[in-house]
Structure 1
Amino acid sequence: MKPAQPQSQVGVDARRAALRLLDSVLRRGLPLEAALDGAARDVSGADRGLAHAIAAETLRRLPDLDALIDSATQQRLPPDSKARFALRIALVQALALGTPGHAAISTVLPLVDGGPRRLVHGVFGALMRRTVALPSTPTLPRAVEERWLGNWGREMVDAARAAMAAPPPLDLSFADDQAARRFEGRHLAPRHARIPAQSGITDLTGFAEGQWWVQDLAASIPARLLGAGGGRRVLDLCAAPGGKTLQLAAAGWQVTAVDNSAPRLLKLRENLERTRLAAEIVEADVMSWSPEAPVDTILLDAPCSATGIFRRHPDVLHRVKARQIAEMADLQGAMLRRAADWLQPGGTLVYATCSLEPEEGEAQLAHATGLTLDPIAPDELPNGVVPAPGGHVRTLPTLLADKGALDGFFIARFKRA
């Protein structure tokens, strides 16, 4: 049993874990979720959840927090200085998470013992006396805003900021449409229910019985475009953590789910067991693996920058730079060409990425060698989502903004000649 902490140290471990999390994301470029186990190794339970919440909200509000800090210092603190990190953590608690100011600063000061403790205390106190506040909609990192302004325009940028201002709703996908309709919530598509954001997902009605799984409505579109399987075989490439695999299996497909991540495939296996659905699982790299024979249907949810899921994963806004987008685009093009070679004549391939970058979406149409775009019809899509003029689908934060919005996705369906 761990010895009881002195009263002055209560809550400090959670803040120290939050600092390690932020350092992992901002300095080392790791995804927030991937860094959690290492950064929060000394905490568990509620403290682990608090560390994650502090880090995630800090990343969501980072430009605005830094602007406040810079307004109260004579010399600009280095971006990676411990004093700036500590101030970010204290301020986000006091201004966004509802922590009383005295608790926000007292649990952070031990993080800078032997360092700029007086500076951190002084800057925090000065800002609190000014009764500062964060803007109602978070500011995007400058590079992201400039990129999205150029690609999509001001309306999209404003919608993206608004989408970050509150926790996004929870979308549930169901194996059975009747079960979905019995579930209280918004029904924006067959086998779907949207409910307000909440914790305790495993306690919700139907979870233990395997009636549903969590999946953003936009993420459910690629598998919807393949329709009913009728016992036919489909390759689900880069499948984990498995929402699309579950959809396809529930729709009557014989699914071969391929992914190179053992931990993510473990999550897929757990969800298959919970939902009582079946799929063949292959742990392999799509760029070195190949099926034994040509296939009729492929779903390729390609690895990408994941900037489209920024609402739930704000770390992508700070980790992903132009170089990573270019590298991902090259990989996607190679995967698309490789998968196309596995299709039988007349076969169908659905390509998707959860990215808001045209390089990972619209530009990939040029890499579909030997494939012809199969235009998507409006009646194949959730209410409020319409195909682009070219017949593909692009979801942006502007879509369904009054109903909780959508993640950013690009989706195209092809036929092989």
Structure 2
Amino acid sequence: MSETPGFPARRAAMRLLDAVLRRGDTLDQAMGSATKELDNFADRALARAIAAEVLRYLVDIDALIDSATRKPLPEDAKARTVLRIMLAQWLRLATPPHAIVATGLPLLQGGPRRLAHGVFSALVRRAVVLPRSPTLPEKVEARWGAEATNIASGLAVPPQVDLTLRNPDETQKWAERLDAISLAPGHLRLRRGVAIAELPGYAEGAWWVQDLAASLPARLLGQGMGRKALDLCAAPGGKALQLAAAGWDVTALDISAKRLERLSDNAKRTGLTCTTVVANALEWKPEISFDAILLDAPCTATGTCRRHPDVLHRIGERQIAEMAELQAKLIKRAASWLKPQGLFVYAVCSLEEEEGKAQIFPTSLSPDPIGPEECPAVLISACSDNRITTHPGMRTEEGGVDGFFISRYHRAA
């Protein structure tokens, strides 16, 4: 018997949610196995979109489900998962209810279809709506404190695509060619839904994909003029490309050979040069000292919750503590490789205090104040002393930014 068109994508979405909420996988990790039966990009994209919208609004969707049942369904009940998928499509993706029922109820083969149909139909009749900003899980709201409401306001809409230009002097030219807006020299923001590889400038390497906030750490090192820079934990390589474009002699190190391949491919496409090293930074010993070191440290990545709402539900105190410990080891080790008067930039795409302002830096490093001219005008409020701190609720009128903690130091003579 043939399956209802669109049903395989919904089944894949259910597998994605199971991988994230039960096993603790990331959406990226789960995509391969969860969508392997889908033979076209559109279905894979739909499966991911459904799962992402469930995760973005999970607390609010569950509250709606509970409001329409006599007693709450268990957290891991298949009927709850299916209802989450159905409601996310209706309330977030504007899918017609009849199509949702046709593709959703078959997920409960041999299960409580009547219950799911009844709950969904009741909520449709009530014309329920979701809040403008998602309600954060309690553990997340507790960690983020006073900023939680502001951060949540930036999660309502999936982010647009940001580009970093190889030549910042061509910002206006490429903004016009790509019908984009620019929030800083060398930055472009595209509308959602564009096919990246088909855009002008891709083949000739005029730009690469990189969130505006992710471009800030490399900007803080300025022009290289042939001096030597080390980009630690460099993959997928956007910051290494920025440094090379700014005239630095770049060594890009990462533990993952596969992820460094992406950097090599982009370097070839853009005509930029980076020396890549596959190594564990906690074991590697450089033969030289560096004029600048950029440590974009491994982290919980909670600052990327606009793009990866799975982090709202996977990350807890244990992961935060483990990452903070690893970051401290990397800071201590990398600081010893810096030349006198050299610059050290530390960055994490995390919103957790333990990974950011609570980190301790060696006494050999002194805070290096960041001037207002070094920070994009739209993010000037995020700049203070030697730090830049962004979060997804900033500049929502322009589409927002990822959350980053960035600090700059210099080594005394």
Decide: shared fold, TM above 0.5. Answer: yes
**Match 2:31 to one of 36, 45, 50:** 36
**Match 1:228 to one of 223, 228, 239:** 223
Task: Indicate how the Cα distance of structure 1 residues 134 and 401 shifts in structure 2: closer, same or farther if over 3 A, else same.
Answer: closer
Offset of 1:317 from its aligned partner? 0.8
Query: Mean alpha-carbon deviation: is it higher for 106-115 or for 395-404?
Result: 395-404
Map of 1:163 onto structure 2:
154
Amino acid at match of 1:377: G
Shift >3 Å, 4+ stretches: 386-390
Taking the aligned partners of 1:179 and 1:388, their CA distance within structure 2 comes to 26
* CA deviation map 1:146-190 (0-9, x unaligned): 2212xxx2xx33332221122323221001123222122333222
Q: How many aligned positions are there?
A: 406
Contact 1:168–1:196 (Cα < 8 Å) also in 2: no
Query: Mean alpha-carbon deviation: is it higher for 53-62 or for 106-115?
Result: 106-115
Q: Which runs of 5+ in 2 are unaligned?
A: none
Contact 1:304–1:329 (Cα < 8 Å) also in 2: yes
**Match 1:240 to one of 221, 224, 235:** 235
Contact 1:378–1:385 (Cα < 8 Å) also in 2: no
Amino acid at match of 2:287: E
Map of 2:129 onto structure 1:
133
Map of 1:75 onto structure 2:
71
Offset of 1:388 from its aligned partner? 4.7
Query: Mean alpha-carbon deviation: is it higher for 298-307 or for 125-134?
Result: 125-134
Offset of 1:115 from its aligned partner? 2.0
Contact 1:384–1:399 (Cα < 8 Å) also in 2: no
Query: Mean alpha-carbon deviation: is it higher for 71-80 or for 212-221?
Result: 71-80
Taking the aligned partners of 2:318 and 2:236, their CA distance within structure 1 comes to 26
Amino acid at match of 1:63: V
* CA deviation map 1:350-391 (0-9, x unaligned): 100111111111111x23342111111111111132365442
**Match 2:54 to one of 33, 40, 58:** 58
Give the 3-state SS of the residue equivalent to 1:297 in structure 2.
Answer: strand
Taking the aligned partners of 1:321 and 1:157, their CA distance within structure 2 comes to 16
**Match 2:346 to one of 335, 347, 351:** 351
Matching of residue 146 in structure 1 with residue 142 in structure 2: yes
* CA deviation map 1:260-292 (0-9, x unaligned): 123322222221122121111111111121212
Taking the aligned partners of 1:70 and 1:262, their CA distance within structure 2 comes to 47
Matching of residue 324 in structure 1 with residue 319 in structure 2: yes
* CA deviation map 1:86-143 (0-9, x unaligned): 1111111112111111111221222221222222222212222222222222211121
Taking the aligned partners of 1:410 and 1:261, their CA distance within structure 2 comes to 23
TM-score, structure 1 as length reference: 0.93
Q: Which runs of 5+ in 1 are unaligned?
A: none
Map of 1:16 onto structure 2:
11
Map of 1:180 onto structure 2:
171
Taking the aligned partners of 2:43 and 2:374, their CA distance within structure 1 comes to 44
Contact 2:137–2:313 (Cα < 8 Å) also in 1: yes
**Identical-residue share of aligned pairs (%):** 55
Map of 2:276 onto structure 1:
281
Alignment of 1:285-304 (within 5 A): 285-304=280-299
* CA deviation map 1:170-217 (0-9, x unaligned): 221001123222122333222112233333122222122211111111
Matching of residue 400 in structure 1 with residue 409 in structure 2: no
Matching of residue 107 in structure 1 with residue 88 in structure 2: no
Map of 2:373 onto structure 1:
379
- RMSD of aligned Cα (Å): 1.6
Amino acid at match of 1:381: C
Map of 2:197 onto structure 1:
202
Taking the aligned partners of 1:395 and 1:367, their CA distance within structure 2 comes to 21
**Match 2:82 to one of 70, 82, 86:** 86
Give the 3-state SS of the residue equivalent to 1:367 in structure 2.
Answer: coil
Contact 1:175–1:191 (Cα < 8 Å) also in 2: yes
Taking the aligned partners of 1:388 and 1:177, their CA distance within structure 2 comes to 21
Taking the aligned partners of 1:43 and 1:345, their CA distance within structure 2 comes to 55
Task: Indicate how the Cα distance of structure 1 residues 292 and 247 shifts in structure 2: closer, same or farther if over 3 A, else same.
Answer: same
* CA deviation map 1:31-52 (0-9, x unaligned): 1112111111111321111111
Offset of 1:327 from its aligned partner? 1.1
Amino acid at match of 1:384: V
Contact 2:335–2:365 (Cα < 8 Å) also in 1: yes
TM-score, structure 2 as length reference: 0.94
Taking the aligned partners of 1:229 and 1:390, their CA distance within structure 2 comes to 23
Taking the aligned partners of 1:54 and 1:302, their CA distance within structure 2 comes to 30
Taking the aligned partners of 1:367 and 1:221, their CA distance within structure 2 comes to 20
Query: Mean alpha-carbon deviation: is it higher for 203-212 or for 49-58?
Result: 203-212
Matching of residue 124 in structure 1 with residue 115 in structure 2: no
